[in-house]
Amino acid sequence: MGDPAGIGGEIICKSIRNIGKRSIPVIVGDETVIRDMEYRLYGSHEIEFKGFKRGARGDVEFIDLGMVNDVEYGLSCEIYGRASYEYIMEALRTIKQGDAVALVTCPINKASIRKAGVDFPGHTEILADFSNVKEYVMMMANRKMRVSLVTIHIPLKDVPAMITKDRVLSCIEVTHSALKRHFRISKPKIKVCGLNPHAGENGLMGKEEAVIREAIDMAVSSGIDAQGPFPADTLFHKVDCDAFIAMYHDQGLIPVKTMDFQRTVNITLGLPFVRTSPGHGTGFDIAGKGIADPSGFIEAYRVAERLS
């Protein structure tokens, strides 16, 4: 359900009639929050839930953790941060037990989970730690473009030091593997961004491209169709590959979200299960007002179905 004070409950309520055509949705969160949002939207209960039971089957099932009694939308606090984290952990346990095959996460608030003492910068890192996975990649994708990130939630000033041969190569390899396994592309083609303007201009504007080029060469020698590094300002205008590799968060997210913001989905590659999320945040500024757009969540759910 994501952060109780965000738009997670609302987009679930608005989406529930449009998902689950090929699967059974199991909502993990607080039923009180969902019911509150139903009354705000419809003036009554609209969703018939079954409690989650192993082996049982209902159109929509619910694991109610009972952590939030009354919700104040748009508020960042420890209680909501702890609830957000526990929803994730319960969902992960459900998957680990074999009772679910994929995870679709509504947005969390990083400040709230930090107030709750959760020392992770975001969903991706929590999921990787739980799964004991070291080689993982954040991919943002829509129906036209896929972009994987070498670095994720770190300050921009720290990015250059994190651009190492091993990190770039790992991102290429994990992306290549996922394109073959989940997207069923037999011979994936990958294009890699440089870090600096003009991809370093042959060393005149930075040296990181030498490291990036070395990683690409190693990927190519192992049979991966990878090309680059290319200047990022001219790379994304034409989608002529199966995935792009960006060096840092905004370098990759600006083009993919500009291409199709509403249907851009966050996919965590390298996990032992499928995980997707809508590409937007908690929407604290509009939470509780009934105006949140559920299309990103619907797309994330459909992608999770398709990939799994």
- Domain of 205, CATH number, reads 3.40.718.10
Structural domain span for residue 40: 1-132+271-308
What are the pLDDT digits (tens) for 230-278?
A: 999 999 999 999 999 999 999 999 999 999 988 999 999 999 999 999 9
Q: Check whether residue 260 and residue 277 sit in a common domain.
A: no
State whether residue 86 is helix, strand or coil.
Answer: helix
Q: Check whether residue 159 and residue 123 sit in a common domain.
A: no
Structural tokens at position 42: 């419809």
Domain count, the chain: 2
CA distance 128 to 112: 20
Q: Check whether residue 128 and residue 141 sit in a common domain.
A: no
The pLDDT assigned to 303 comes to 95
The pLDDT assigned to 51 comes to 54
21-30, 55-64, 186-195, 295-304: segment of lowest average pLDDT = 55-64
Q: What is the mean pLDDT of the chain?
A: 91
Q: Check whether residue 139 and residue 260 sit in a common domain.
A: yes
The pLDDT assigned to 199 comes to 83
CA distance 105 to 282: 11
The pLDDT assigned to 261 comes to 87
Q: Check whether residue 282 and residue 232 sit in a common domain.
A: no
User: Which pTM does this prediction carry?
Assistant: 0.88
Q: Check whether residue 10 and residue 115 sit in a common domain.
A: yes
Q: Check whether residue 138 and residue 208 sit in a common domain.
A: yes
- pLDDT of 7 > 70? The answer is yes
The pLDDT assigned to 120 comes to 82
Q: Check whether residue 80 and residue 177 sit in a common domain.
A: no
- Per the model's pLDDT, the better-predicted residue between 103 and 198 turns out to be 103
What average pLDDT score do residues 21-34 get?
91
Q: Check whether residue 192 and residue 208 sit in a common domain.
A: yes
**Count of Cβ atoms closer than 10 Å to residue 84 Cβ:** 32
The pLDDT assigned to 55 comes to 45
What average pLDDT score do residues 64-74 get?
93
What are the pLDDT digits (tens) for 43-56?
A: 866 666 655 444 44
Percent of the chain beyond pLDDT 70? 95
Q: Check whether residue 184 and residue 248 sit in a common domain.
A: yes
* Sheet (strand 102-104) strand order: 102-104, 274-278, 265-269, 137-141, 146-149, 243-246, 189-193, 225-230
- Per the model's pLDDT, the better-predicted residue between 12 and 46 turns out to be 12
Q: Find out whether 104 and 304 touch, Cβ atoms under 8 Å.
A: yes
Q: Check whether residue 72 and residue 198 sit in a common domain.
A: no
Q: Check whether residue 2 and residue 127 sit in a common domain.
A: yes
> How far apart, in Å, are the Cα atoms of 299 and each of 104, 184, 264?
10, 19, 8
The pLDDT assigned to 58 comes to 57
Percent of the chain beyond pLDDT 90? 75
What average pLDDT score do residues 289-295 get?
94
What are the pLDDT digits (tens) for 130-182?
A: 999 999 999 999 999 999 999 988 899 999 999 999 999 999 999 999 999 99
